[in-house]
Chain A
Amino acid sequence: MTTSIGFIFFIGAIGLGAIGIAGIVLANHLFRLVLALAIAEAGANLLLILAGYRWDAVAPIVSDPAVVQTMVDPVPQAMVLTAIVIGVGVQALALTLVIRIRQRYGTLDMQEARQRMQDDLDAAAGITPSRSRERPAGGRPLPAPAAAVEAGVQHD
C-alpha cells in the first residue's frame, strides 16, 4: 500500500518537473513562463522531500526526549525549505521584470519582446537589424501570406 502511494508521489514529482520544463520551452506568454517555472520548482522540491521520506515515521521534532520514535530524515526537509525560499524570491524578481517589460514594450509576448530587444541592441550598436525568422538573410522577400495568394492579391 505505502509503496504504491510512494510510487504515485514519485510520478507526481517527475510529472510536475516535466510539465514545468515543457511549459518553459513551449510557452510564449511571459506570465505563463513564470508559472511554468513555479511548477518545475515544485516538482524538484517534491523529489527532494521524497529522497528522505519514511512512511512509518513522524515529523523530526523532539517533543519528549524520553520517547524514542522513528523520524523522517530532517536534512532534505531543511534543504527544501531553503529551496522554497530561494524559489519565491526568484519568482518575485521574475514578476517584477515582467512588469517592467510590459511597461517598456507594451507586450507580454516573449517572441515580440525578444525581437524588440534585438532591434534595440542592434540600433545601439549601430548595425543593421539581425536576421530573424521575419527577416531572412539575403534580403529575399517573404512569401506572400497564403490568404493573399489565394485572393490573387499582388504582393510586392
Chain B
Amino acid sequence: MTDVTLAIALPLLGAFLLPVTARRGLHWFGALLGPTVLALSALVLFGNASVYEAPYAIALGGFAPPLGISLYVDPLALLFALTVPLTTLLLWPGDDGDAGIRRQSLTLLLASALTGLALSGDLFNLYVFYELAAVASYGLAAGGGSSPGFVAAFRYLLISALGSVFGLMGIALIYFQTGTLNLAHLATLSEQLANPQGLAAFAMLVIGFGVKAELFPVNGWVPEVYGAASKRVAALLAGLASKLAVLAIVRILLLVFPHEEARQLLLVLGILGVITGELAAYQARDITRMLGWSSVGQLGVVFIAFSLPGKAGLIAGVTVAMHHLVVKSALFLLADRWGGAIARLKGAASSSRPGAAMFVLFSLSLLGLPPLPGFWSKFLVLGGLADAGSTLQLAAMAIILAGTVLEGAYLMRVITTLYKPVDAKAMPQRQHPGNLFASAMFAAVLLCSAVMVNPLWQGLNAMAESGVDTKGYIETVFDGKEIPR
C-alpha cells in the first residue's frame, strides 16, 4: 500500500515547481510535470483500493490523535479523492505562455487542496485545505485577465472570505464546548453538541463550506464567475470543487452532528437551492449562466439527498453528486465554444455533430431518462424521500419533480435550437477537438456506469456501509488507545 499523503503532497510540490522550471526554459519539463503529477497521484490512490476491506487512519508526523492531525481513508474519502486527479487531468488547462503556466500551477494547487479536503480527519485541517482551495480558485477565476473576471473574482473572494469568517466562528464555538477539533474525538462527544450552540456552530460551518458548494444563501458568485472565467475553470469549480466542499459538510454532519435538526437545516437549504437555481436557470438567456444556475439547483438536490438519514441518504447523495460531477463538467466543456446566447446556436449541430449528440446525451441524463445514470440518481433521492415521508420531505419531492420539469423546458430549448436549420449570417463555432475528446471521455464514463449498474450498486453499498459507521471511524482513528473525555 502506497502512502496516501503523497496524493496531496505531489500536486502541491508540482504547483510550486512549475513556475520555476518554466522560467528556466525547461518548457518540455513544465508541460509534462502537471499531467505526470496528477497521474501519479491517481495511481497512489488506486494503490489504496484495499480500504474497501479495512479503512485506516494516518497520524501525521507521528503525533497520535486527538492532539495530532489525522488523515482518514475509507471508501467514501477514496472515491471523492480519486475523482480529483482524474477530473483535473481531463480538464487540464492548455499551455499558452505565462498565463497558461500560472493557470496550470493554480490548478495543481486546487487539486492538492481538494484531495486534502477529502482525506482530512480534523476540523481545522479541513478549514486550511478549504482556504487553500479557495485561494487557488480566486486566482483561476481572475486568471483570464478580462475586466469582468476581476470584478467577478473580487465578489467571489468577498463572499468566500465572509464564509470563512463564519466557518472560523463555528470552529471556535465547537472548541469552546468540546476542547477538541479531531473529527473522531468530536464524534465521541457529539451529545455535548446537541444543543442550540452546537446547532449554531453547525449552521456557521455549513455557511462557511457552503460557499464553494454553491449552497443557497451564498451562491451569488456562481453565474458571474462561470461567465467570466474560462469554461474549463467553470467545469473545475462547478463539477469538482463543489463536490469536495459537499463531502466536507457531509463528514461533519455524519460524525459530529448526527442530530435531526442538522439534517432539517440541510434539507431546507437544499429545497431553497433547487427552487432558486432552477427558476434562475429558466430565466437565463445564455448557456453559461443557464448551466451555472442549473448546477445550483442540482447541488440543492445533492443536499436534499444527504439530509436523508442513514445508508440510503449517503448512497443517494453520492450518486447524485458523482452524476452531477460527470455531466456538468462535460456540459461546461461543450459550452466553451457554444457559450453565448442560446439564439446564436441555431444550427450548431450541423457544424459539430458529435458535440451536439453529446449535449443531448448529457441533457437527457441530467433530466433523468431511464437507462442513463441520471435516472437512478433521481430515483434514489425520490425513493428515499418517499420512505422518510415527513411533510417537509414530501414537499422536497414535489419541488425536485417540478424542478425537473423546468430543467426539461430550458434544456430542450437549447437542444431544439441546436438542431434548427443553420442561419447563413451567423455560423455557430465548431467545437474544439480537445474539448470534444474530454467530454467524450465523460460520456464514456456515463455510458459505462449505465451498463454496470449492478457492480456499481454493490460498490456504493459497501462504501455507504463504512461511511455511516461512526463507531468504526472512532475505533480506526484511536486504534484501541484510550479516548480522552
Contact = CB atoms under 8 A, between A and B. Distances in A.
B441 to A, nearest CB: 27
A2 B4 CA distance: 47
B128 interface: yes
Contact of A44 (B172, B175, B181): B172
Contact of B151 (A17, A89, A114): A114
A90 B150 contact: no
Contacts of A100: 142, 150
Interface string A94-121: 1001101100110000000110111011
Interface stretch (A54-62, A63-71, A122-130, A139-147): A122-130
Interface residues of A, number: 46
A48 B147 contact: no
B321 to A, nearest CB: 27
Contact of A104 (B138, B147, B157, B172): B147
B168 A52 contact: no
A52 B157 contact: no
A116 B154 CA distance: 14
Interface centre among B153, B164, B165, B175 (most CB of A within 10 A): B165
B162 interface: yes
A116 B152 CA distance: 11
B165 A41 contact: yes
A50 B151 CA distance: 36
B162 A37 contact: yes
A108 B285 CA distance: 29
A33 to B, nearest CB: 6
Contact of B142 (A24, A82, A97, A117): A97
Nearest to B170: A44
B150 A101 contact: yes
A38 to B, nearest CB: 10
A83 B164 CA distance: 10
Contacts of A93: 135, 138-139, 157
Given A44-B172, A90-B135, A21 B165 contact: yes
30 contacts: A20-B165, A24-B162, A37-B158, A37-B165, A43-B169, A44-B169, A51-B176, A79-B124, A79-B181, A82-B124, A83-B168, A90-B135, A90-B138, A90-B164, A94-B158, A97-B150, A97-B154, A98-B154, A101-B154, A105-B151, A114-B155, A117-B228, A118-B224, A121-B148, A121-B224, A121-B228, A124-B340, A125-B341, A126-B340, A127-B286
Interface of A: 17, 20-21, 24, 30, 33, 37, 40-41, 43-45, 47-48, 50-52, 73, 75-76, 79, 82-83, 86, 89-90, 93-94, 97-98, 100-101, 104-105, 113-114, 116-118, 120-122, 124-127
Interface of B: 124, 128, 131, 134-135, 138-139, 142, 146-148, 150-155, 157-158, 161-162, 164-165, 168-169, 171-172, 175-176, 179, 181, 224, 227-228, 285-286, 288-289, 339-341, 344
